Every structure is written in structure tokens, then in C-alpha cells.
């Protein structure tokens, strides 16, 4: 049996945490053998710029045209087909689940978000893929969390994304959401910019945010899975060894794969249960107040929705040009 130091950091990490690949470029992940994969509008937009994925892009356009729709409805249909085609290809590589994102422009519309999720699930099921293998990604606004609560009751599992604060995490847990994606790197970015300081290891505010959520969930018995996301370096990843899941870009997967230093489990349910975190009874007023009091959470949520919306619009422009 190899000792820990004979194993790559990636293989060691997999003994503590489910490793997820964060990319639309599914050809780049096969060698890392992740359990799950996540996509978002920015990653899909980047992928369709590559020659390797032009076939999928053309197939999505062809399928969209076959619906007989026009205008915005046609663009929406082609984007949905694109998400599903990429998701299907990724599911041919991984054994677990793929996360597919709802249009960020619906982030403040509960019913429209829920309806779009149902449409995406129906398209996957038409491809012979069961809903158990899909996580619908929804922005962690109050409206998004309400949509996810509704969808979970229908057997549609959700991944609540653009999550930057304890308020969002607690509301998701109370709503019975399947999984959340706290954005470590974007929290780190905000603090570096606002303080002018660099943060490493356990001092990293993004790492601390996920540790706090982990402690809260494990202490109070919430079953919602925690998947740290948006990493800037492997140090952030290794500080969260023990989290339920971690979604990692191909570049950082490669770095972990080619490094053999020892990896320690940093997060444990036992330590979480002994933490001093206090229970919050979350309702809409409490959620909005707590988020309002968190300048970083408020700013990064709004910015994240804007950035994802911009990339959807770029994708729409590319489709219009192809049409």
C-alpha cells in the first residue's frame, strides 16, 4: 500500500472530500476522474469558442430551429439545448452529477426560475438521463431559494450558487436545498481589494466563510451538501479538505495531481459540533437584513448575477450571428 506521500494531493484529497470538476471543457477533465462536474454560463461561453465544441454548438442551433420558435424564444431554446448537450457529454465521462445553470436574468423571479428548471430537466430526461444525475444551479437570492424549495419538493435537486454569506447558507438549509456552492475565491478577491492585504491559509476570508457554514450545518444537522467553489489557489482548496464536495478548475486539478505533499483533513463533523456557532431562525426579513449588513455578500451577489448575465448575452449574440 502506498503511503500518503506516495499519492498526489488530488488522490489524498479524494479520501476526505468528493472532488468535482468546474468546467465546460469536458475533454480536459477525464484524467482527473472527478465524481461530479459543474458548469455555468461563463464556462459554456468559453467552451463554445473552442474548435473542439463547434459540433455541439451547431447541433444546439439545429435542435432549436426544429422547435419552430423565433426571436427570444428561439435563443432561449438553443441555449437550453446547448446546456443539455454539454451536460450529456460530461455525464458520459463522470459517474456522478452535472450542475446546469438557470439563466441568471431570472434570479429575482421565483416562478420563472422554477419553470426554466423544469424545462431543463425535461430536456435531460428526453435524452434518457435521470433527474438524479442533474443539479439545477440557481443564484442564492431570496427568490432563487424559494424556487429551489419548490423544485426540491418535485424531486428536482438544486445547487444554489453565487453564495457568499451565512444568511444565504442558512436560508438554503431551511429550504431543504440539495447543495450549495460558497464562492471562496470571489470572497477572497473582495477582501484583498478592500483591505489591500494578501491572505493565506486559515486566515483567508473565503476559507473562513466555508468553515463557518460547515460548522453551522453539521452542528444543527442540516443535510444540505456544501461544495466550496471559485478557488484562486490550491492553498484554499487544501484548507477545506473535509468539506462535502469541492469544485475545482482543470488548472488547479492539474496542480494537485502533480504535487505529492501531505494533505490533512481540516473540517470534521466532531469539531463542527463543538463550535460556538448559534442557530438562526431564518425568514425573508431576517435574510434581507443579514445580507444587507454584509457588504461583501451584497456586492458579490449582485456582481455575480451581472457577470453571468453578460456571458449569456454574449452567447445569444454568437447564436444570432450563426443564425
Q: Which three cell numbers stand for residue 72?
A: 427570444
| Structural domain spans, the chain | 4-322
2 pLDDT more than 50:
no
Which pLDDT score, from 0 to 100, does residue 255 have? Answer: 97
pLDDT digit string (tens) for 62-117?
A: 999 999 999 999 999 999 999 999 999 999 999 999 999 999 999 999 999 999 99
pLDDT confidence of 273, banded at 50, 70, 90? Answer: very high
pTM of the predicted structure, to 2 decimals = 0.94
Look at strands 36-38 and 18-22 and give their pairing.
parallel
- Which 8-state DSSP code applies to residue 185? H
Range 4-322: architecture per CATH: Alpha-Beta Barrel (3.20)
Buried-state track 293-307, b at ≥16 Cβ within 10 A, e below 16 = ebebbeebbeebbee
Q: What percent of the chain has pLDDT over 70?
A: 98
pLDDT of residue 5: 67
Q: Which three cell numbers stand for residue 251?
A: 488548472
Residue 316 exposed, middle or buried by CB count within 10 Å (0-12, 13-18, 19+) = middle
- Cell triple for 269: 463533523
Q: What is the pLDDT of residues 209-250, one digit of tens each?
A: 999 999 999 999 999 999 999 999 999 999 999 999 999 999
pLDDT of 196: 97
Instruction: Give the pLDDT of residue 1.
Output: 42
pLDDT tens sequence across 129-159: 999 999 999 999 999 999 999 999 999 999 9
Which sequence positions are flagged as catalytic?
137
Please report which confidence band the pLDDT of residue 42 belongs to, taking 50, 70 and 90 as the band edges.
Answer: confident
Question: What band does 40 get if pLDDT is binned at 50, 70 and 90?
Answer: confident
How far is the C-alpha of 71 from the C-alpha of 235, rounded, in Å?
46
| Averaged pLDDT for residues 33-52 | 92
pLDDT higher than threshold 60 for residue 189? yes
Angle at which helices 71-91 and 110-126 pack, to 10 degrees? Answer: 50
Average pLDDT over residues 289-303: 98
Q: What is the pLDDT of residue 145?
A: 98
Mean pLDDT of all residues in 278-296? 98
Three-state DSSP at 239 gives: helix
Nearest to 69 by CA among 308, 319, 311, 313: 319
Joined together, the cell numbers standing for residue 304 give 455575480
Amino acid at each position: 500500500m502506498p503511503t500518503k506521500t506516495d499519492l498526489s494531493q488530488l488522490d489524498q484529497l479524494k479520501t476526505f472530500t468528493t472532488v468535482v470538476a468546474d468546467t465546460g471543457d469536458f475533454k480536459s477533465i477525464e484524467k482527473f476522474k472527478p465524481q461530479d462536474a459543474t458548469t455555468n454560463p461563463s464556462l459554456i461561453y468559453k467552451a463554445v469558442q473552442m474548435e473542439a465544441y463547434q459540433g455541439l454548438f451547431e447541433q444546439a442551433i439545429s435542435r432549436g430551429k426544429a422547435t419552430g420558435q423565433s426571436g427570444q424564444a428561439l435563443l432561449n431554446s438553443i441555449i437550453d439545448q446547448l446546456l443539455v448537450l454539454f451536460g450529456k457529454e460530461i455525464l458520459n465521462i463522470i459517474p456522478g452529477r452535472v450542475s446546469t445553470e438557470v439563466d441568471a436574468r431570472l434570479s429575482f423571479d421565483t416562478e420563472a426560475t422554477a419553470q426554466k428548471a423544469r424545462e431543463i430537466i425535461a430536456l435531460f430526461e428526453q435524452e434518457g438521463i435521470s433527474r438524479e444525475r442533474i443539479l439545477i444551479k440557481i443564484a442564492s437570492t431570496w427568490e432563487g431559494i424559494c424556487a429551489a424549495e419548490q423544485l426540491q419538493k418535485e424531486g428536482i435537486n438544486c445547487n444554489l450558487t453565487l453564495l457568499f454569506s451565512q444568511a444565504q447558507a442558512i436560508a438554503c438549509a431551511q429550504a431543504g436545498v440539495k447543495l450549495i456552492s460558497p464562492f471562496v475565491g470571489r470572497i477572497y478577491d473582495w477582501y484583498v481589494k478592500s483591505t489591500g492585504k494578501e491572505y493565506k491559509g486559515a486566515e483567508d476570508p473565503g476559507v473562513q466563510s466555508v468553515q463557518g457554514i460547515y460548522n453551522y450545518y453539521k452542528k444543527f444537522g442540516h443535510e444540505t451538501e456544501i461544495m466550496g467553489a471559485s478557488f484562486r489557489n490550491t492553498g484554499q482548496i487544501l484548507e477545506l479538505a473535509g468539506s462535502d464536495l469541492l469544485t475545482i478548475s482543470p488548472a488547479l486539478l492539474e496542480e494537485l495531481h502533480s504535487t505529492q505533499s501531505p494533505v490533512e483533513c481540516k473540517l470534521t463533523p466532531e469539531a463542527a459540533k463543538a463550535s460556538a456557532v448559534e442557530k438562526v431562525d431564518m425568514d425573508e426579513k431576517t435574510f434581507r437584513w443579514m445580507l444587507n449588513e454584509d457588504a461583501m455578500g451584497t456586492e458579490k451577489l449582485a456582481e455575480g448575477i451581472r457577470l453571468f448575465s453578460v456571458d449569456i448575452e454574449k452567447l445569444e449574440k454568437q447564436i444570432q450571428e450563426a443564425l
